């Protein structure tokens, strides 16, 4: 059995709203499905509202709006916040990624989310609409 979760891309204005929208899509109002990239990837591993058996599909509507909201500028802000809290052994890498994003280069948060879904759930688990 395939379970489809709808991500309303028009509601996404940054990472915080993405976590809210995806949490509600999977687990209903107020639902949790990660609050950062690592937690999101962990949730896709199962046991957090997704089916333990069967396929899941994320239908990401208005994904182009989300791609803009989660673009390079927002990615740079996200990485800057992460670098401020990271262990010193990770700060240099995060600051370099932040500088790349600020310059409009490298993967965006949107790119990373798409990659995580496809890696954890399979290439057919995401429909970008």
Q: Are residues 25 and 49 in the same domain?
A: yes
Q: Quick one: pLDDT at residue 53?
A: 60
Q: At what angle do helices 109-121 and 37-44 cross, to 10 degrees?
A: 20
Q: Are residues 18 and 42 in the same domain?
A: yes
Q: Are residues 91 and 61 in the same domain?
A: no
Statement: residue 109 has pLDDT above 90: yes
Q: Are residues 80 and 115 in the same domain?
A: no
Question: 33-80, pLDDT tens digit by residue?
Answer: 999 999 999 988 876 667 666 688 999 999 999 999 999 999 999 999
Q: Are residues 9 and 49 in the same domain?
A: yes
Q: Are residues 54 and 115 in the same domain?
A: yes
Q: Are residues 93 and 39 in the same domain?
A: no
Q: Are residues 101 and 52 in the same domain?
A: no
Listed residue (32, 23, 27, 30) closest to 51, CA to CA: 27
Q: Are residues 11 and 49 in the same domain?
A: yes
How does residue 29 score in pLDDT terms, banded at 50, 70 and 90? very high
- How far is C-alpha 89 from the geometric centre of its chain's CA atoms? 24
Question: Mean of the per-residue pLDDT values for the chain?
Answer: 93
64: containing domain: 2-70+108-128
User: E strands, 29-73, where?
Assistant: 55-61
Q: What is the CATH number of the domain that holds 7?
A: 3.30.370.10
DSSP letters of 11-25?
G-SSHHHHHHHHHHH
Q: Are residues 56 and 81 in the same domain?
A: no
Distance CA 92, CA 34 (A): 25
Domain count, the chain: 2
Q: Quick one: pLDDT at residue 2?
A: 86
Distance CA 67, CA 63 (A): 6
- Name every residue whose Cβ is closer than 8 Å to that of residue 127 and which is 6 or more positions away in sequence: 57, 58, 59, 60
- Name every residue whose Cβ is closer than 8 Å to that of residue 118 and which is 6 or more positions away in sequence: 125, 126
Q: Quick one: pLDDT at residue 55?
A: 83
pTM of this prediction?
0.93
Q: Are residues 44 and 93 in the same domain?
A: no
């Amino acid at each position: 059995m395939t379970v489809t979760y709808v991500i309303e891309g028009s509601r996404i204005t940054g990472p915080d709203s993405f976590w809210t929208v995806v949490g509600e899509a999977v687990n209903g109002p107020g639902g949790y499905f990660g609050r950062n990239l690592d937690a999101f990837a962990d949730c896709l591993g199962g046991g957090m509202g997704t089916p333990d058996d069967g396929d899941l599909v994320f239908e990401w509507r208005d994904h182009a709006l989300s791609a803009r909201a989660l673009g390079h500028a927002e990615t740079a802000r996200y990485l800057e916040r992460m670098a401020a809290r990271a262990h010193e052994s990770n700060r240099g890498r995060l600051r370099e990624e932040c500088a790349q994003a600020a310059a409009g280069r490298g993967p965006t948060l949107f790119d990373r989310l798409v990659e995580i879904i496809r890696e954890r759930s399979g290439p057919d688990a995401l429909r970008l609409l």
